[in-house]
Structure 1
Amino acid sequence: MSLVVSKGNQDFLYQQVMQLVRELCEQGTLLPGEKLPSLRKMAEKLTVSIPTVKLAYQTLEVQGLIEAREKSGYFLKTAAVQVARPKRVKLSREPVSVNMQVLIEQVYDAIHQVDMVPFGIANPVAAAPTDKMLARTMRRVMSMAGSRAINYGAMDGYAPLKKQLIHRYLDFGIGIDNQELVITNGAQEALTIALKCVAKAGDVVAIETPCYFGIIELIESLGLKALEIPLCPDDGIWLDDLTQALHDHDIKACVFSTAINNPVGSFMPNHKRKQLVELLESRDVVLIEDDVYGDLYFGAERGTPAQAYSKKGLVLTCASFSKTAAPSYRVGWLIAGKFAARARRFKRAFSCSTSLINQWTLYEFVASGEYDRNLKLLRQTLRGNKERMIWCLQQALPSTVRISDPQGGCVVWIDLGKDYDSVRLFHLALDEGITITPGYIFSATNKYRNCIRLSYGLPWSERLESAIAKLGELLHLAKK
């Protein structure tokens, strides 16, 4: 095929441009999630006018082949193949004690091995790295801080960073008192403190299923019992199942991803989030919202934190910079509300303070505007990576496989079918230099042995595409 259009052709010039784009797609030259040449560049290559290319692109957008992204250009959409979504699971009858430590340790050991294809780690920042920007910022901070750079910080956090976060929540109409916000060592410490504030060993805590395994292990370590509430792959917790669970059990608290779920990638719309808070507060049940992926949405706007809908102060919000700026900095926060005094005591007992130099650097990074600019780039990159990964999975895996369609975040959830063992596939992939996360560890009740989670929070490359093809080849060896 030649990149040529001709005025002598019976088709209009814009129609020839459209056909050219279609052929690029069919030949695999242009893959889902990739950006098309700009209007100007395509016009120059084809020796046609910019309005001609624009009309071609707009027509292809109407036809659903490409999409325009604000201030970014046009991108090829995922092929319109009907991929079945993961099935709804049944509500658990009874809360259970948790014991997932051994397999979780194996997964952690695997994801930190060098020279592996790291599909097993959810580190979205790797798709649009901040290391150079943060290095510049930290050098500037160390110059300003002098000897303070090596000192302990305030127990509840660096005051300017706290004020900055409080101002950002005002965008959602959420007013936060300075004493209610505690800076933590990542969101995991925030979740730990929140659970310690509202529950004790033996209490029942409702979690979504599938659920991030770090929460499951945390519940195990605190001696709590987990009650799994099924998750819709599109818009979060099934509220009818939650209502039934509240009727049947003495639930002390719920730990839910109120925005973007890990591992499914569902997005709870604002009206449903409001209903969730109203339901729980009508029964005086605390909601601990895990909002670490809230800023990594793919839709038109960010979901409003559940904190905004609370009337009784029974919502605690946990978030961090780990998924949006710097996982190694371990800077998160907890909005503790009426539980603030208790939260501050636990923070002091657990870790005294969070790294001052890291907090200061992040404060300057946000204040400079670089954080928000990179965050926008990160969302765009992750969205493109998601579309590429789903397309590659469609090519590599059997048509019977069910694949989630994440509405944000950096992971995709795959139901391989009842005949396959994800733990076996985990070990087979490891031998080939590929890490994946077996679905088994995303449940407190041994569900999802036939599921896996893959991360697309990576710089995309042919190596990743080859690794996905290799997983497809290994799959027949993972049969039960």
Structure 2
Amino acid sequence: MVSGISSGAQAVPLYQEVADKIVRLIEEGVLRPGERVSSLRKVSEQYGVSVTTAIQAFILLEDRGLVEARPKSGFFVRVPRPVLREPAMAKTPRAITAVTVGALQSRLFEAAMMPHILPLGGAVPSPELLPTVKLNRILASVARRAGKSGISYDMPPGSEALRREIAKRTMNAGATILPQEIITTSGATEALMLCLRAVTVPGNVVAVESPTYFGVLHALEELGLKAIEVPTHPRDGMDLDALERMLKTRNLAACLAVPTFSNPLGALMPDEGKERLVRMLEERQVPLIEDDVFGELHHGPHRPRLAKGYDQTGNVLLCSSFSKSLAPGYRVGWVAPGRFYERIKTLKLTSTLATATLPELAIAEFLANGGYDHYLRSARSFYAANVQRVGQAVAAAFPEGTKVTQPQGGFVIWVEMPAGVDALRLQDDALAHEINIAPGPMFSPTQGYKNCIRLSCGVPWTPRLQQAIQTLGKLAQRQL
């Protein structure tokens, strides 16, 4: 047995001697960043110490930030991580704007349909991460048991079993919503469209976050509505002081916001901010449409509170779906529209008439038997790690001065590049390299954010993804 450790009295603990020798190998370049360190058993043999001592040495090296453990792979020399700089809150025009982003959205979706394109543009979870086998098994079982009712219309308000499970989950988010206050929909997109139709007429003005989800902007465009942008902080969400000033000077028909993990910034509005938002809109009887599609995908230990939890008059229309968290293709969403319930129920009949029956029942059973919570625990862990990993890769590969958001939930990041980079041109160049990204102008009614892009972290980390980020960085650098 070869030993580099003396057998006499130790001036320092034995495990620290082992750790110091590995540190020297790292400092002298024998072990390079990203390389695998010898296994615990091998280190034990090399230095003539027990496995327990080797474990203590690696714990010390981890604490020093020199190595990192990878599940089922061992310990690796940690790659130095660049310091992430977050974008500042953008100054947005106060003008009321007609929306025209439909063409940009169509281009993004067309690229997303191409199987050879790496899908970093859409906020869609990778199918390989979803509990497909379990859901398919449940769907087949439900179909056998349901018989004829499984292929019949499930008229509004939709599946009672699903509404009951949804009501239970909203309690975990600080809101008390009864099953009879919920209407199921064909995804969150229909829920948002129904809410906008219920509280506006063509020509009305709706306050939106800036930047905001392009699907919201497309909905406004199709309904003949106008938008006014409210500055939004990458961490704390909508600037409520700016919104309050708008409420005093503008005639707003509604406010549409994503207080929990906004898209594309990933911002999380503090609880006191959510309460203030609800109260200020309630005082002026301006409906709040709350989009909560990412709420279940928190990276921290607790599910954030819903703004709906502060609603006392039914002024908040809460929308969500299972598309981001469980099954995009099932197209099952829901809305708790408060005092607009009857109006939404009627509009649903003129929209899709009914929500697909079997997907509703399958999701209801998956929620009831605990499968959803079990799946979410692993999904949250994956997204938290992948968001951090992709963000670090972007910071390392993109031009100097690039800024990246650090969301605490969801799986998208917002990248602000130096002013000389044109995001639309970058999208063209990226597609030529079989990479799809979402350019910043899609997320603004005034088509601002010309040097910004949104990237999805819902794709598992692979050499291809790593190479794609490096390619994007090089393409952005060429524009400077």
Structure 2 length normalisation: TM-score? 0.89
Give the equivalent residue in structure 2 for 1:204: 205
Shift of residue 164, structure 1, vs aligned partner: 1.0
Give the whole-Å Cα distance in 2 for the aligned partners of 1:79 and 1:240. 39
> Counterpart of 2:257?
256
Assess if the C-alpha contact under 8 Å between 2:162 and 2:364 holds in 1: yes
- Work out whether residues 127 and 457 of structure 1, in 8 Å CA contact, stay in contact via their aligned partners in 2: no
Q: Which residue does 1:151 correspond to in 2? A: 152
Give distance in 1, aligned partners of 2:310 and 2:76. 36
Partner of 1:300: 301
Contact 2:173 2:303 in 1 (8 A): no
Q: What's the counterpart of residue 33 of structure 1?
A: none
- 2:78, 2:349 → 1: CA distance? 49
Instruction: Find out whether 1:348 has 2:349 as its counterpart.
Output: yes
**Structure 1 CA distance for aligned equivalents of residues 69 and 339 of structure 2:** 44
Distance 1:266 1:6 in 2: 51
Does 2:318 align with 1:317?
A: yes
Distance 1:350 1:193 in 2: 8
Q: Which amino acid letter does the alignment assign opposite residue 400 of structure 1?
A: G
Q: How far did 1:56 drift?
A: 5.2
What are the residue-to-residue correspondences of 1:372-387 with 2, within 5 Å?
372-387=373-388
The change in CA–CA distance for 1:150 and 1:422 in structure 2 (over 3 A counts) is same
Mapping of 1:238-257 within 5 angstroms? 238-257=239-258
Look up the SS of the partner of 1:268 in the other structure: coil
Aligned equivalent of 1:135? 136
Greater shift in the superposed pair: 318-327 or 118-127: 118-127
Q: How does 1:35-434 map to 2 (within 5 A)?
A: 43-44=40-41, 46-47=43-44, 52=53, 55=56, 81-126=82-127, 128-434=129-435
- Counterpart CA distance in 2 for 1:19 and 1:381 is 33
Query: CA 1:43 to 1:78, structure 2 compared with 1: closer, same or farther past 3 Å?
Result: closer
Cα distance 1:351–1:152, how it changes in 2: closer, same or farther (>3 A)? same
Cα distance in 2, alignment partners of residues 74 and 278 from structure 1 = 51
**8 A Cα contact 2:395 2:403, kept in partner:** no
Structure 1 residue 54, shift from structure 2 partner:
6.3
Structure 2 CA distance, aligned partners of 1:5 and 1:246?
Answer: 74
1:123-155 CA distance string (max 9 Å, x none)? 135462221121111122122122333222232
Alpha-carbon distance in structure 2 between the residues aligned to 1:128 and 1:302: 21
Residue identity matched to 1:154: M
Call closer, same or farther: CA 1:227–1:58 in 2, change over 3 Å: farther
Larger Rg: 2
Structure 2 counterpart of 1:462, which letter?
P
Distance 1:173 1:405, change over 3 A: closer
Cα distance between partner residues in 1 of 2:353 and 2:208: 29
User: CA contact under 8 A between 1:193 and 1:347: conserved in structure 2?
Assistant: yes
Residues in 1 aligned to 2:443 and 2:79: alpha-carbon distance in whole angstroms: 27
Does the 8 Å CA contact 1:255/1:287 hold for their aligned counterparts? yes
**Superposed CA RMSD:** 2.9
Q: Residues 66, 238 of structure 1: CA spacing in aligned structure 2 closer, same or farther, 3 A cutoff?
A: farther
> How much does 1:389 deviate?
0.8
Residues 77 and 387, structure 1, Cα contact 8 Å, conserved in 2: no
* Letter in structure 2 aligned against 1:317: L
Q: 1:126 to 1:94 in 2, by over 3 A?
A: same
Q: Distance in 2 between matches of 1:392 and 1:164?
A: 39
Letter in 1 for 2:395: Q
Q: Deviations over 1:15-46 (max 9, x none)?
A: 3358759949951237xxxxxx9xxx965454
Q: How far is the alpha carbon of 1:288 from its aligned partner?
A: 0.7
Q: Find the aligned partners of 1:87 and 1:25 in 2 and give their Cα distance.
A: 38
1:189 Cα offset (Å): 0.5
Give the secondary structure class of the aligned counterpart of 1:179.
helix
Aligned length: 464
Tell whether the 8 Å contact from 1:400 to 1:417 is kept in structure 2 after alignment: yes
Residue 29 (str. 1) matches residue 35 (str. 2) = yes
| Change in 2 beyond 3 A, CA 1:88/1:174 | closer
Aligned-partner Cα distance in 2 for 1:213–1:42: 48
Contact 1:125/1:323 (8 A) holds in 2: no
Deviates more, 1:433-442 or 1:176-185: 176-185
Can you list the C-alpha shifts for 1:218-240, whole angstroms capped at 9, x where unaligned?
01111111010011011111112
Q: Hey, what's the Cα distance between the residues in 2 that align with 1:94 and 1:320?
A: 32
Q: Which deviates more, 85-94 or 300-309?
A: 85-94
Partner SS for 1:124: coil
Unaligned runs of 5+ in 2: none
Change (3 A) 1:91 1:477: closer
Q: Which gives a bigger RCO, structure 1 or 2 (Cα 8 Å, sep 6+)?
A: 1
Q: C-alpha displacement at 1:68, in angstroms? A: 11
Which residue matches 1:461? Answer: 462
TM-fit CA distance, 1:78: 9.0
Task: Note closer, same or farther for the CA distance 1:17–1:360 as it changes in structure 2 (3 Å cut).
Answer: farther
Q: Is the 8 A contact 2:158 2:354 kept in 1?
A: yes
Alpha-carbon distance between aligned partners in 1 of 2:409 and 2:363, rounded to the nearest angstrom = 23
Query: CA offset at residue 93 of structure 1?
Result: 1.8
Give CA-to-partner distance per residue, 1:374-409, whole Å, 9 cap, x none. Answer: 111011111111122122112211221111112111
Deviation, structure 1 residue 77: 9.2
- Supply the AA of the counterpart residue of 1:119: L
Distance between the aligned counterparts of 2:239 and 2:75, measured in 1?
A: 35
CA distance in 2, matches of 1:330, 1:309: 28
Give TM-score scaled by structure 1 length: 0.89
Instruction: Look up the equivalent residue of 2:362 and give its one-letter code.
Output: T
Contact 1:91 1:241 in 2 (8 A): no
